[in-house]
């Protein structure tokens, strides 16, 4: 055997490294099938209920698969046959201790993008007759009369291009414009209250739906950043806004947030357990704990089996195991039963290790150690219990 063989080729990997990318591999979900089924059931149920769009939280420690879960949810939303949805991923961090909801709303709007909003407006107005702004205003349902009239003019102005388009975008995001600019844009509403920003955001999602035929669902990563807002006024403002977003009155814009608990495996924190937010998402039914992915030995073993089937060319592994009489099954190549037994016992003993990222890292490190021991002999070095223990407990080696 050629000792210069690459790691990828040596262990028949379908890619260069022993790893999972949250977005490239969003179509697969490893581990607890029950948890995945619950998330899908929640999405389907939300479409059928008064809330009209998915709204719930997922949470777990670092490495528990939050970003991968959001990416997978995006795939589920894209392929669902119940309701056309445009999932939009954004990382909400960082937030400062005096951050206002206007900052969050601006990041939501940036995730939608001005060009798609303009496209939605264009497609909507082509299906109407008469005054464009009036036709738009009739469809907007959030906010007072002044806000709806102003926002209808803003949407119309976006079609004009040039300074009107630029200033209209600034108004949507809460910029304080001059009197002359407001007169040019024909707006009377000056945004300032958190409710105004929520209404503008929901009206934008509503027109997006009318124009492009899809609802919007925000997939918010690192939502624990909301806990960094500690100023009482700012915190009250953010809490009010998220309550409104999670309310059934909003049936046009989804909100799915991924949260890392305080202290690793600790509590979600007061912001995410605010009674008003809890009630609106259905109390405990609206929270999904990702530690269920690999918390039990059966789930951890399932995760490993599904991961190896995804990463390793198991048809070639079967031929190799027979040809070289290797002490591992093709479905577990390049790990034998003793190696996987050591790993399962390790993660059972330490709850901090019960994360998908941790399991992947342990498997990758052990496989690399076995590859480093390759020789010129015509037989692969596979991972046994001793190699796994060496990588798990290097201080004892």
Is the same domain home to 386 and 270? no
What pLDDT, in 10s, does the model give residues 194-250?
Answer: 999 999 999 999 999 999 999 999 999 999 999 999 999 999 999 999 999 999 999
Is the same domain home to 391 and 273? no
Is the same domain home to 286 and 298? no
Give the closest residue to 248 by CA, choosing from 56, 51, 55, 54: 51
Place of tokens 């991923």: 89
Report the percentage of the chain scoring pLDDT > 90.
86
Token pair in block for residue 226: 């909301």
Does a structural domain hold residue 24? Answer: no
The mean pLDDT value of the chain amounts to 94
pLDDT at 265 over 50: no
Helix, strand or coil, per DSSP, at residue 63: coil
Is the same domain home to 140 and 256? yes
Does a structural domain hold residue 125? Answer: yes
Half-sphere exposure of 337 (CA within 13 A, CB side): 2
Does a structural domain hold residue 25? Answer: no
pLDDT at 97 over 50: yes
Cα–Cα distance list, 252 to 8, 34, 369 (Å): 46, 28, 51
Global pTM reads 0.93
Is the same domain home to 140 and 57? yes
What pLDDT, in 10s, does the model give residues 317-354?
Answer: 999 999 999 999 999 999 999 999 999 999 988 877 88
pLDDT at 264 over 70: no
Is the same domain home to 184 and 252? yes
Number of domains in the chain: 2
Look at residue 321 in the predicted model and tell me its pLDDT. Answer: 96
Is the same domain home to 12 and 39? no
Is the same domain home to 159 and 65? yes
Output the domain CATH number for residue 266.
3.40.50.300
Is the same domain home to 341 and 304? yes
Is the same domain home to 279 and 363? no
Domain assignment of residue 232, given as a range: 33-290
Is the same domain home to 213 and 352? no
- The neighbouring-strand residues paired with 383 are 335
What pLDDT, in 10s, does the model give residues 21-31?
Answer: 999 999 999 98
122-154 burial: b if 16+ Cβ within 10 Å, else e: eebbeeeeeebbebbbebbebbeeebbbbbbbb
Look at residue 263 in the predicted model and tell me its pLDDT. Answer: 64
Residue 100, sorted as left (phi over 0), alpha (psi -120 to 50) or beta, turns out to be beta
pLDDT at 298 over 70: yes
What pLDDT, in 10s, does the model give residues 152-165?
Answer: 999 999 999 999 99
Report phi then psi at 86, rounded to 5: -105, 100
User: What are the strands of the beta sheet with 55-59, ordered from one edge?
Assistant: 85-91, 215-221, 253-259, 55-59, 287-289
Is the same domain home to 246 and 310? no
Count CB atoms within 10 A of the CB of residue 120: 24
Does a structural domain hold residue 1? Answer: no
Look at residue 203 in the predicted model and tell me its pLDDT. Answer: 98
Give the closest residue to 10 by CA, choosing from 317, 357, 330: 317
């Amino acid at each position: 055997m050629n000792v210069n063989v690459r790691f990828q080729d040596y262990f028949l990997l379908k890619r260069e490294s022993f790893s999972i990318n949250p977005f490239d591999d969003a179509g697969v979900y490893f581990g607890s099938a029950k948890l995945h089924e619950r998330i899908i059931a929640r999405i389907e149920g939300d479409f059928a209920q008064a809330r009209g769009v998915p709204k719930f939280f997922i949470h777990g420690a670092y490495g528990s698969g939050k970003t991968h879960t959001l990416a997978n949810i995006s795939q589920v939303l894209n392929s669902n046959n119940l309701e056309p949805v445009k999932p939009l991923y954004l990382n909400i961090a960082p937030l400062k201790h005096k951050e206002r909801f206007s900052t969050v709303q601006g990041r939501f709007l940036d995730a939608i993008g001005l060009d798609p909003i303009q496209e939605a407006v264009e497609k909507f107005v082509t299906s109407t007759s008469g005054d464009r702004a009036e036709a738009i205003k009739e469809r907007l349902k959030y906010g007072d009369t002044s806000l709806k009239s102003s926002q209808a003019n803003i949407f119309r102005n976006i079609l004009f291009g040039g300074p009107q388009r630029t200033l209209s975008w600034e108004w949507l995001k809460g910029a304080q414009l001059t009197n002359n600019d407001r007169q040019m844009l024909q707006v009377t509403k000056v945004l300032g209250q958190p409710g105004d920003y929520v209404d503008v955001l929901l009206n934008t999602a509503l027109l997006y739906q009318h124009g492009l035929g899809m609802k919007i669902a925000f997939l918010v990563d690192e939502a624990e950043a909301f806990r960094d807002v500690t100023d009482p006024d700012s915190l009250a403002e953010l809490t009010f806004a998220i309550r409104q977003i999670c309310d059934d009155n909003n049936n046009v814009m989804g909100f799915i947030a991924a949260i890392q608990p305080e202290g690793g495996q600790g509590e979600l924190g007061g912001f995410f357990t605010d009674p008003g937010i809890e009630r609106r998402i259905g109390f405990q039914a609206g929270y999904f704990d990702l530690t269920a992915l690999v918390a039990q030995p059966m789930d951890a073993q399932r995760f490993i089996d599904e991961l190896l089937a995804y990463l390793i060319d198991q048809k070639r592994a079967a031929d190799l195991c027979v040809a070289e009489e290797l002490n591992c099954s093709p479905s577990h190549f390049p790990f034998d039963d003793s190696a996987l037994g050591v790993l399962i016992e390790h993660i059972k003993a330490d709850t901090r290790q019960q994360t998908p990222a941790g399991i992947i890292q342990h498997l990758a490190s052990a496989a690399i150690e076995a590859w480093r021991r390759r020789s010129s002999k015509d037989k692969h070095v596979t991972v046994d219990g001793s190699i796994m223990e060496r990588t798990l407990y290097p201080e004892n080696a």
